[in-house]
Structure 1
Amino acid sequence: MHRNCMEIRIEGLTGYGEGLSLQKRALERVESSEVDGVIIMLEHRPVFTTGRSGGVENLLVDSDELTRLGIELHRADRGGNITYHGPGQLVAYPVFNLGKWRKDLPWYVSSLEEVVIQVLSDYGIEALRKPKYRGVWVGERKIAAVGIAVKRWITTHGLAFNIEVNKSHFELINPCGLKGLSVSSLNDLISPVCFSEVVDKMEEKFSLVFDTKFIKVSRGWLDGDANA
């Protein structure tokens, strides 16, 4: 099936609120059937987000400490519990009309996981899923988290892949609500790490897993810039 899909890469660090705004504008394009899907890839400024299953109870420091460290706290409308986003972590927000693929949420989440698994495989790293927990794991350490929202079969939110992230920030929470959870980052496993290369591989694997060619556009496209 031919699908009309766009890819937007945001340079620099993006605030979490701005990330939500970008998704909203992409959602409007997909809901209007102008395109079938948009994938936004970016790095966030340090932020903890809680999900629909809660998460504040898994924050291990108070608001004063968050302020001192320069870490924001937001509530998100995605599934899951508390997680962290920050520099050195690649966040992918696919805004997809699943009616153009499959109206099957377990398939969709597994496909997001598969994207990361295939990227890691290119680096000779064997990654896996765990039956009880969503995300991607290398051994007993989690390297990528998945949390989605879906309305009328259109997706928002997505996945976060640790590439060269500050893991000490994860120690301030019970990641995903799991006490004692250890996280991994790609730079723990290979050296050196080229962030832009990983982004290229992420695009390649999204194309393969979702059988779609993504057209690169700038963020101006979301604002209606025909030359973007």
Structure 2
Amino acid sequence: MKKVGLINLDIMEYQKSLKIQYMLVDYIKKCEDIAGFFLLVEHFPVFTVGKNGGMENLLWSKEYIASMGIDLYETDRGGNITYHGPGQIVGYPILNLKHFHQDIHWYLQQLEETIIITLKDMGMLAGRKNKYRGVWVGENKICAMGISVKNWITYHGFALNYSVNEEHFRMIQPCGITELGVASIKKIKEDVQKEEVYLGIKNSFQESFNCELVEEKIEALEELILTDD
């Protein structure tokens, strides 16, 4: 069975996690026998804008956003504007799809399936919408998706709302969608603990991608991915 390194980054600035992703993409490109890594992280408050744009969906000025202590970052993932912050579990699979299935649509389906299974195991009915990417509970998005693929190596990923600051979400039109809302796990099932969600994501990821997650310490990869240029 394919082995994928699991790295928990705890809470980290968005830009630092992006640097780690880029370095891992380059590392996997050089070492094609490696199936990949799976990063789990929470971010300090930040709005990120994807390749499809999204500045028009920022409802407050950049100056006001900065005064609230929220960063704004343009990035190279797919999709529109979204929010990351404490209480949101972000997953960045850095996978060489040559070890899995060289099909981007398949990859996105499996990523969504990972979250759908996780929520189902906790007693929540979640699914897809034909018009939009991500995972939904009723008319509310609970997990956003935005990926990039370079030489069949994936990066960026998903953002699952556990217990987020809804006031921050109201500063944007998430993903440019105006007719639908945003959901959090804690609002649906108060008794679900964050540790349960992390464990559920790990188990369902292994099921969806038919792999074994092997925990790696970030310190063991420090020279590879954290050394300044």
Aligned-pair distance for 1:10? 1.4
TM-score by length of 1: 0.94
Question: Partner of 1:41 in structure 2?
Answer: 40
Residue 68 (str. 1) matches residue 74 (str. 2): no
SS at match of 1:145: strand
Q: How does 1:1-228 map to 2 (within 5 A)?
A: 2-11=1-10, 13-33=11-31, 35-224=34-223
Amino acid at match of 2:218: R
For 1:110 and 1:28, locate their aligned partners in 2 and report how far apart those are by CA, in whole Å.
Answer: 25
Aligned-pair distance for 1:29? 2.6
Deviates more, 1:94-103 or 1:190-199: 190-199
Aligned-pair distance for 1:77? 0.2
Aligned-pair distance for 1:194? 1.3
- Residues 67-126 of structure 1 show CA distances to partners (whole Å, capped at 9, x for unaligned) of 221100001100000000000000000000001110111110011100110011011111
SS at match of 1:4: strand
Aligned-pair distance for 1:193? 3.0
Aligned-pair distance for 1:181? 2.9
Contact (CA 8 Å) 1:174, 1:181: kept in 2 or not?
no
For 1:21 and 1:218, locate their aligned partners in 2 and report how far apart those are by CA, in whole Å.
Answer: 17
Aligned-pair distance for 1:64? 1.9
SS at match of 1:23: helix
For 2:19 and 2:169, locate their aligned partners in 1 and report how far apart those are by CA, in whole Å.
Answer: 25
Amino acid at match of 1:122: D
Contact (CA 8 Å) 1:174, 1:180: kept in 2 or not?
no
For 1:56 and 1:89, locate their aligned partners in 2 and report how far apart those are by CA, in whole Å.
Answer: 22
SS at match of 1:54: coil
Aligned-pair distance for 1:5? 1.4
Among the aligned pairs, what percent are the same residue? Answer: 41
Amino acid at match of 1:130: K
Unaligned runs of 5+ in 2: 225-229
SS at match of 1:102: coil
Aligned-pair distance for 1:221? 2.8
SS at match of 2:52: coil
Aligned-pair distance for 1:49? 0.4
Contact (CA 8 Å) 1:26, 1:222: kept in 2 or not?
no
For 1:196 and 1:72, locate their aligned partners in 2 and report how far apart those are by CA, in whole Å.
Answer: 27
For 1:64 and 1:79, locate their aligned partners in 2 and report how far apart those are by CA, in whole Å.
Answer: 25
Aligned-pair distance for 1:224? 4.6
For 2:179 and 2:73, locate their aligned partners in 1 and report how far apart those are by CA, in whole Å.
Answer: 23
Contact (CA 8 Å) 1:61, 1:172: kept in 2 or not?
yes
TM-score by length of 2: 0.94
Aligned residue pairs total: 223
Unaligned runs of 5+ in 1: none
Amino acid at match of 1:32: K
Runs of 4+ in 1 over 4 A off after TM superposition: none
